[in-house]
């Protein structure tokens, strides 16, 4: 009962108040029993993943919308619908617990309504689903603006991208090869009964057969591995840090790429990691401390490097630019409902500003790796294309045969093989 009410409050706050799931969930998890925390996460992620589809079905059965102070009750209905349609929770338990949660929401008068709607869905499920699924944006539970952008950018792949966005993401780990090779660590996992497979693109990446608690991973507390998606691991690989170099990790929090750079090249002269967010920078410190690594960690605006760096120009810069995060929707389903179409142009303008600023921090003969976890061309291909056109000393370093100044970079799409959506472009500064 308390778990369903907590889930309803979280969904309500994300959808109606614009709060982020990652900020809300830990707080509410402290309020439910330890054994129910995984269920709370599943209910929140699942309901938000399928929000517009569930919402459209519920609205077919409501005589009038639940607005204002009754919005949490509407969210509770969607939590109940998610259980009935997408989980193995027995229907009688889903119904009983969802109805009982009205008391926790101080909405006892709505018990009959919640019970009636959920039972109606049970009786009319096929009919209701057919009506809703006639529209692809509802069938795949994406906002219409995002679906249209995906259609335009990927006319042959847009449906596969939306389907991948709705999958449960796998758990990836990054092996710290200063301790074990990837094959050696895979053998250690096998000894613990943990199935894993190697990724063909990311050299240190292992995909686990099923998610596990990190405490069960051999040597996790000593830094022998870290949790990081395979697509994100490719960043340090492409950056290719060399001994004695001065490297900047711009927009570094929470520090996964920072640590990976140091793992791949322990003989750097110095690694500087910067981010604007003090709270997220604390995560950088925590990650480095666990693994036993050192970097110069600074709080600062990547668009204003003069405020935090008076040292020499950098040999290499990893610019993991602020973006729409449309490549990691399956890990953060609230992105679909928090992001607005006007955000994309604003983000692209910020990325452009940061790119120009960071270019001045790169020494002649140096290399900048531009990265985002977006799949939208405005933030990726078009962004880099415009930068190359306005920057005479910028030379694109092709990452594949089709990587040209007219179609620059390497776009990884979210797929059912397990990687997130990511974009990379490698740009050298003329000596």
For residue 24, what are its two tokens? 């809300």
Average pLDDT over residues 9-18: 97
Query: What burial letters (b/e) apply to 97-129, b meaning 16+ CB within 10 Å?
Result: bbbebbebbebeebbebbbebbeebeeeeeebb
pLDDT band (50, 70, 90) for residue 65: confident
**pLDDT at 74 > cutoff 80:** yes
pLDDT band (50, 70, 90) for residue 416: low
User: In terms of residues, how long is the chain?
Assistant: 431
Q: What is the pTM of this model?
A: 0.95
Q: Which residue has the tokens 């991973």?
A: 217
pLDDT tens track for 322-371: 999 999 999 999 999 999 999 999 999 999 999 999 999 999 999 999 99
What is the DSSP track for 120-135?
A: HHHHHHHHHHHHHTTS
**Distances, alpha carbon 234 to alpha carbons 21, 272, 407, in Å:** 27, 19, 20
pLDDT tens track for 163-214: 999 999 999 999 999 999 999 999 999 999 999 999 999 999 999 999 999 9
Give CA–CA dist 199/319, Å, rounded: 24
Give CA–CA dist 216/342, Å, rounded: 43
Question: Cis peptide before 254, with omega less than 30 degrees from 0?
Answer: yes
Q: Which residues 6+ apart lie within 8 Å of 274 measured at CB?
A: 248, 249, 250, 251, 252, 297, 298, 299, 300, 302, 308, 309
Query: Active site includes 373?
Result: yes
The pLDDT score that the predictor gives to residue 274 is 97
- Type and span of the H or E element at 315: strand 314-320
Burial of 193: CB neighbours in 10 Å, binned 0-12, 13-18, 19+: exposed
**Contacts of 186-192 spanning 24+ positions with Cβ under 8 A:** 188/218, 188/219, 189/217, 189/218, 191/218, 192/216, 192/218
- Type and span of the H or E element at 264: helix 256-264
Are the beta carbons of 427 and 396 closer than 8 angstroms? yes
DSSP 311: S
pLDDT tens track for 84-119: 999 999 999 999 999 999 999 999 999 999 999 999
The pLDDT score that the predictor gives to residue 1 is 62
pLDDT tens track for 118-139: 999 999 999 999 999 999 999 9
Give CA–CA dist 155/177, Å, rounded: 40
Pick the catalytic residue: 225, 251, 323, 373? 373
For residue 10, what are its two tokens? 């979280």
**pLDDT at 417 > cutoff 90:** no
What 3 state SS string does 363-429 have? Answer: EEEEEEEEEECCCCHHHCHHHHHHHHHHCCCEEEECCCCCCECCECCEEECCCCCCCCCEEEEEEEE
Q: Which residues 6+ apart lie within 8 Å of 267 measured at CB?
A: 243, 244
């Amino acid at each position: 009962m308390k778990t369903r009410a907590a889930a309803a409050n979280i969904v309500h706050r994300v959808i109606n108040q614009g709060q982020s799931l990652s900020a809300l969930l830990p707080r509410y998890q402290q309020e439910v029993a330890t054994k129910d925390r995984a269920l709370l996460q599943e209910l929140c992620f699942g309901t938000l993943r399928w929000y517009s589809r569930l919402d459209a079905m519920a609205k077919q059965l409501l005589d009038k919308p639940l607005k204002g102070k009754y919005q949490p009750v509407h969210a509770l209905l969607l939590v109940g619908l998610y259980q009935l349609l997408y989980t193995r929770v027995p229907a009688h338990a889903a119904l009983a617990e969802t109805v009982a949660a009205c008391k926790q929401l101080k909405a006892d008068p709505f018990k009959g309504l919640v019970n009636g709607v959920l039972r109606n869905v049970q009786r009319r499920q096929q009919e209701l689903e057919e009506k809703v699924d006639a529209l692809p944006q509802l069938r795949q539970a994406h906002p219409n603006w995002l679906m249209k952008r995906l259609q335009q950018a990927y006319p042959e792949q847009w449906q596969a991208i939306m389907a991948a966005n709705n999958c449960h993401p796998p758990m990836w780990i990054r092996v710290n090869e200063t301790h074990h090779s990837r094959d050696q660590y895979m053998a250690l996992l096998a000894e613990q009964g943990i199935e894993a497979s190697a990724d063909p693109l990311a050299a240190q990446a292992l995909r686990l057969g099923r998610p596990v608690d990190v405490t069960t991973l051999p040597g996790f507390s000593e830094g022998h591995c870290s949790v990081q998606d395979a697509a994100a691991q490719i960043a340090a690989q492409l950056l290719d840090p060399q001994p004695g170099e001065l490297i900047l990790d711009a927009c570094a929090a929470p520090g996964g790429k920072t640590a990976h750079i140091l793992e791949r090249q322990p003989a750097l002269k110095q690694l500087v990691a910067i981010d604007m967010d003090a709270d997220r920078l604390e995560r950088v410190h925590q990650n480095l401390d666990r693994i036993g690594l050192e970097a110069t960690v600074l709080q600062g605006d990547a668009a204003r490097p003069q405020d935090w760096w008076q040292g020499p120009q950098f040999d290499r810069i990893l610019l993991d630019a602020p973006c729409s995060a449309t490549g990691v929707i399956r890990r953060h389903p609230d992105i679909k409902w928090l992001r607005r179409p006007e955000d994309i142009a604003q983000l692209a303008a910020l990325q452009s500003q940061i790119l120009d600023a960071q270019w001045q921090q790169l020494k002649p003969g140096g290399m900048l790796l531009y990265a985002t976890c977006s799949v939208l061309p405005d933030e990726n291909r078009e962004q880099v294309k415009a930068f190359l056109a306005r920057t005479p000393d910028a030379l694109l370093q092709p990452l594949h045969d089709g990587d040209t100044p007219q179609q620059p970079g390497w776009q990884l799409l979210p797929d059912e093989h397990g990687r997130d959506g990511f974009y990379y472009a490698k740009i050298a500064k003329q000596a």
